Amino acid sequence: MNAANYLYVSALLFSIGAIGVVVRRNAIVVFMCIELMLNASNLAFVTFARINGNLDGQVIAFFTMVVAACEVVVGLAIIVTIYRSRRSASVDDASLLKR
């Protein structure tokens, strides 16, 4: 089977994630889109590992997963905290640093 197909899927997933980050306001959805992009890149890494026949890409994919997990922990905590104090999960409302 052609490995390139996996890459197309990866690119598609990444694009969906990227567009989602840009167009969606809800923080949770944005967050999910980021996860989508991370996983798209993971898919690409694994595919390349397969193509090149070594484990480098797979190792990096694991690293990415660990980082993503940490990010989810911190990110969700921030989103929940913001939601608690502001009763809103819209990312556009949270532009406090500007002012």
Partner 1 sequence: MTSNSLVYLIALPLFGSAVLLLAGRRSDRWGHILATVLSGSAFVVGLVQFAQMLGRSNDQRAVTQKLFSWISVGTFKVDASLMLDQLSICFVLLITGVGTLIHIYSIAYMSHDLDRRRFFAYLNLFIAAMLLLVLGDSYLNLYVGWEGVGLASYLLIGFWNQKPAYATAAKKAFVANRVGDLGLSLAIMISFATMGTVSFAGVKEQAGHASTGALTAIGIMLLIAATGKSAQFPLQAWLGDAMAGPTPVSALIHAATMVTAGVYLITRSNFIFDAAPTAQLLVAIIGAITLLFGAIIGTAKDDIKKALAASTMSQIGYMVLGAGLGPAGYAFAIMHLLTHGFFKAGMFLGAGSVMHGMDDEVNMRRYGGLRKFMPITFATFGLGYLAIIGVPPFAGFYSKDKIIEVAFNAGGIKGITLGGAALLGAAITAFYMTRVVILTFAGSKRWDDKAHPHESPALMWLPMVLLAVGSVTSGIIFTHGNSLQNWLAPVVATSPAHEGELLKPAVVSILALVLVLAGVGLAIMKYLRKPVPSEAPTDVSIFTRIARRDLLQDDFNEAVFMRPGQKLTEVLVATDELLVDGAVRGVAHITQSTGRTLGMTQTGFVRSYAMWILLGAIGLLATIWVVTL
Q: Dmax over Cα atoms in the chain, in whole Å? A: 54
95 three-state secondary structure: coil
Contacts with 26 (C-beta within 8 Å, 6 or more apart), sequence order: 89, 90, 91
**Do 9 and 43 contact (CB within 8 A), yes or no?**
yes
- Residue among 16, 21, 28, 49 that touches partner 1 (CB under 8 A): 21
Min CB(61)–partner 1 separation in Å = 20
DSSP state of 55: S
Paired with 45 in beta bridges are none
Smaller CB separation from partner 1, 58 or 90: 90
Verify binding: residue 22, partner 1, rule CB under 8 A. Answer: yes
Verify binding: residue 18, partner 1, rule CB under 8 A. Answer: yes
- Residue among 12, 30, 76, 86 that touches partner 1 (CB under 8 A): 30
Verify binding: residue 86, partner 1, rule CB under 8 A. Answer: no
Total residues interacting with partner 1, rule: CB under 8 A: 14
Verify binding: residue 92, partner 1, rule CB under 8 A. Answer: yes
